[in-house]
Amino acid sequence: MKIEQALIEEYEKNGAICLRGVFDENWIEIVRAGIEKNLNDPSCYSEKLKGEKGNGYYFDDYCNWKRIEEFKKFALESPAAAIAGTLTRSEEISFYHEHVLVKDAGTDKKTPWHHDQSYYPVDGEKVCSIWMPVDPVPRETCVQFVAGSHKWGWYSPRKFETTQPYKVIDETLCSEKNYQQVPDIEANKEQWNILCWDLQPGDCIVFHMKCLHGAPGNMSTTHSRRVLSTRWLGDDATLARRPWEISPPITGGLQIGQRMVCKEFPVVWKNEE
């Protein structure tokens, strides 16, 4: 996977970039089939959220790659790991998990502004997600990012259903990262450099796990917005404690401070240059 130096630098500066045409039709079809299986057979982690007005639902589910063969194939064989390794300048990349995000046509449920890494028991800076749609995504429906916010520090996670912060279980851990509440970005968008794109199947967005992002509903009356977001861990990713219940609640049997490489988080890519 060849990615120009300018794109690597853009990713490092902004915390999110769009890559065009990096997944061919074969991978798009594989992911579509996996998402369909997941919708028909959700796990115990799944949510089906409804907004205030729209008739559609916002479905999300994760950590199904061991039982859904299409997700496993994508994680272990697609260009995704090489993309993550190149952009994070890592020598090795391990796979963390996949996350299915589907907004039906007519879904007004928004995704609240948040960043991902505080949900996860993961420390490190060489960590990213690859947001890959299998449907055309107009800018009006696309996930949005605050450029540069991956350098702002740590923010408390929020429940997607209620938008309320996670309940703190261990106060002593809060000071370790000086967690802040997410600012009201939606009401003050003119203050920020907001990034979003029109996407076609085959395109993807790669973003740092601490980059603040949120998404509008899908008010199309005809098309769903089906996305597979995969999570990737580079050289400095280690298991960490959080003051709240971690999501997903999977640690692979590792000890705090250990590098996140194990059977649960397999190494998928190595830098051979």
> Are the beta carbons of 112 and 160 closer than 8 angstroms?
yes
Secondary structure string (H, E, C) spanning 155-223? ECCECCCCCCECCCCCHHHHHHHCCECCCCCHHHHHHCCEECCCECECEEEEEECCCCEEECCECCCCC
Check residue 40 and give left, alpha or beta (phi > 0: left; psi -120 to 50: alpha): alpha
Quick one: average pLDDT of 223-249?
97
- What is the pLDDT confidence band of residue 273, given thresholds at 50, 70 and 90? confident
- The fold adopted by the segment(s) 5-267 is Jelly Rolls (2.60.120)
Give the pLDDT band of residue 1 (cuts 50, 70, 90): low
User: For 57, left (φ over 0), alpha (ψ -120 to 50), or beta?
Assistant: beta
Query: For 194-217, what is each residue's pLDDT tens digit?
Result: 999 999 999 999 999 999 999 999
> Please, which pLDDT band fits residue 232 given cuts at 50, 70 and 90?
very high
Residue of 189, 181, 150, 179 whose CA lies nearest to 164: 181
Residue 134 reports pLDDT greater than 70: yes
Q: What is the mean pLDDT of residues 238-262?
A: 98
User: Per 3-state DSSP, what percentage of the chain is helix, strand, and coil (rounded to 5)?
Assistant: 20, 30, 50
Structural domain spans, the chain: 5-267
